[in-house]
Structure 1
Amino acid sequence: MKAVILAAGIGSRLSRPFPKSLSVLPYGETILGRQLRILRELGVNEIIIVVGFKMTLIMEQFPEVYYRYNPNYYITNTSKSLLCAIGDLDDDILWMNGDVVFDKAILKEVLDSRQDNLICVDTKNCGEEEVKYNLGSEGYVSEISKEVVDAKGEAVGINFIRRQDIPTFCKALGECDDNDYFEKGMEFIIERGVRFKPVDISVHDCIEVDFEEDWISAQKTFKTAG
């Protein structure tokens, strides 16, 4: 299994002069550093970071991982960054956005449930900007986008897909528009019969840092390495 972290974006909504994954938590670890440490503590050592915006800042700080470069990071979204990473891979893939701060227990639960494709979800009320999800009659994810009506909650940006579904997923990511999030590719393959099981992580702390208020919340929540 390989892990992919998407850290190519400019992060315009947070307005930092550096990649927001390098924002430093109160105890001194960056968001990205925390992600890498947790992955390694759980035995995941093959890690790919997709970079773009001010990539050397990330690469110099974390020289021990693999990198993929999205040369169009300033005009494309996460669907294309993810495709940059997995287009030629033949392995199970755990992937996450590079701005998600989370408890270690969340990844442990994902790694313990790898017989299915997985989407980590939080069953909470969601605003307009959150990626939301809904479930079908058999309990698998039936919809995933910002436009889901009567959503069950939020998809938090941590996901897992088995190697046999990678070719279908890559084809779908290629069909996405440049400004689409990777969830659009997931929607495409769900429509084609690929199933994703929701992993409810609501009892754990997990914050995707999009806006300043998210960062304030993350600083209050993650005061220790944990």
Structure 2
Amino acid sequence: MSFRIVILAAGMGSRLGRALPKPLTELSDGRSIMQQQRDNIHAAFGPDSKITTVVGYRAETVIDAFPDASYVHNERYDQTNTSKSLLRALHATGKKSVLWMNGDVVFDPRVLGRAISLIERDQSFVTVNTAKVSDEEVKYTIDETGHIDQLSKTVVGGIGEAVGINYISRADKPAFMRHLARVDDQDYFERGLELAIAHDGVKLQPMDISDLYAVEIDTADDLEHANLFV
């Protein structure tokens, strides 16, 4: 499998109320969120997996914690959202397809194992959970072929939530990057995916992991919930 892995870790994560970047938040098993992610990546794809991390807020603390990773800097981390952080990483990874994840997601190691068959087919996908649909989370709908149709926090009638672990194929990457470049600085990367679907016919398969855990850490309650699993 010839692809690159990206972790988005540039944001300040102010809602959690910690001084360190949110991916360095310690879990109950002693690992940080990012260490748990890296362990899952290496378990699924091998110890030599190439990981590119986008940093911004207190970048040096992330780099010191994981000096073996490749880094892309978003100096405008306090003025931009995940759309622009991801765009920088996609440029840095050349023509390779990319598996990326938000740097605040704690997830079951089996999630990435489930993704292997899709990655081997170079099929773009969005990881989803149909067990809950929260107003504050990114929600989705599907079209008549079963592919992602709408994908945002404002979706009405969403059938589940996006988890924050996604994959863009080599073929779909150029269209996605064009739309990431045109969206507003404060847009999430999901807006770029929506535009690629609408204007370029990109087919995103929903990969359902409702039977596995995946928790995006925004608040202290989220952290407490994630610690039930690790």
Quote the Cα distance in structure 1 between the aligned partners of 2:132 and 2:29. 29
**Residue 125 of structure 1 aligns with which residue?**
132
4+ long deviations beyond 6 Å: none
Residue 178 in 1 paired to residue 185 in 2? Answer: yes
Is the contact made by 2:134 and 2:161 (CA closer than 8 Å) also made in structure 1? no
Which residue of the other structure, out of 146, 155, 164, is the alignment partner of 1:148? 155
**Residue 21 of structure 1 aligns with which residue?**
23
Secondary structure of the corresponding residue to residue 53 of structure 2: strand
Which residue of the other structure, out of 150, 169, 175, is the alignment partner of 1:162? 169
Quote the Cα distance in structure 2 between the aligned partners of 1:50 and 1:87. 12
The aligned length equals 222
Secondary structure of the corresponding residue to residue 224 of structure 2: helix
Which residue of the other structure, out of 86, 102, 106, is the alignment partner of 2:90? 86
Moved more, 129-138 or 118-127: 118-127
Counterpart of 1:84 in structure 2: which amino acid? Answer: R
Counterpart of 1:218 in structure 2: which amino acid? Answer: A
**Residue 39 of structure 1 aligns with which residue?**
41
Is the contact made by 2:105 and 2:216 (CA closer than 8 Å) also made in structure 1? yes
Q: Which structure 1 segments of 5+ residues have no match? A: none
Quote the Cα distance in structure 2 between the aligned partners of 1:125 and 1:149. 14
TM-score normalised by structure 2 residue count: 0.94
Which residue of the other structure, out of 209, 226, 229, is the alignment partner of 1:221? 229
Is the contact made by 2:83 and 2:187 (CA closer than 8 Å) also made in structure 1? yes
For 1:128-139, what aligned pairs fall within 5 Å after superposition? 128-139=135-146
Residue 76 in 1 paired to residue 83 in 2? Answer: no
Q: Give the drift of 1:124.
A: 2.5
Q: Give the drift of 1:179.
A: 0.4
Residue 204 in 1 paired to residue 212 in 2? Answer: yes
Quote the Cα distance in structure 1 between the aligned partners of 2:26 and 2:53. 18
**Residue 9 of structure 2 aligns with which residue?**
7
Quote the Cα distance in structure 1 between the aligned partners of 2:156 and 2:24. 34
Which residue of the other structure, out of 51, 54, 79, is the alignment partner of 1:50? 54
Secondary structure of the corresponding residue to residue 68 of structure 2: coil
Counterpart of 2:55 in structure 1: which amino acid? Answer: V
Quote the Cα distance in structure 2 between the aligned partners of 1:125 and 1:2. 30
